[in-house]
Amino acid sequence: MKNFFLSRIRSLGHAMRGWWYVIRTQRNAWIHALVTSAVIVLAVWLRLPARDWAVLLLVIALVWSAEFVNTALEAVVDLASPRHHPLAKVGKDVGAAAVLIAALTSILVGLLILGPPLWGRLQGLIGR
């Protein structure tokens, strides 16, 4: 049983090193971090219900997961094909497209969830 828990702790350490690698090396991860922080602060300020929080957290996780998988894909492609190869480019471009799809989807979901209550709150502040 002790070995089981020790291996889980080691696995968590590997995951945290991967997370830190993405934050350290990927410029878009900083954009994701800023937008994630802004969305969370805005959702707290708007006092969103639990269901809206669930959807926001899912799309945030979708974007981060796509970014992490894309970073892993790029690393593996660079390892397997150090020289430029058309198929390596396809792999990297498709990975980047997955991040783009996730990000665009999250923007639309964010507008649908945050837009109406934000508009109402802003109208209330301006109307004072």
Which is the catalytic residue, given 29, 32, 62, 67? 67
Q: Is residue 48 within 8 Å of 110, Cβ to Cβ?
A: no
The residue written with tokens 């006092």 in the block is 47
Report CA-CA distances (Å) from 90 to 13, 85, 86: 32, 9, 6
Q: Is-catalytic flag, 67?
A: yes
Annotated catalytic sites, by residue?
A: 67
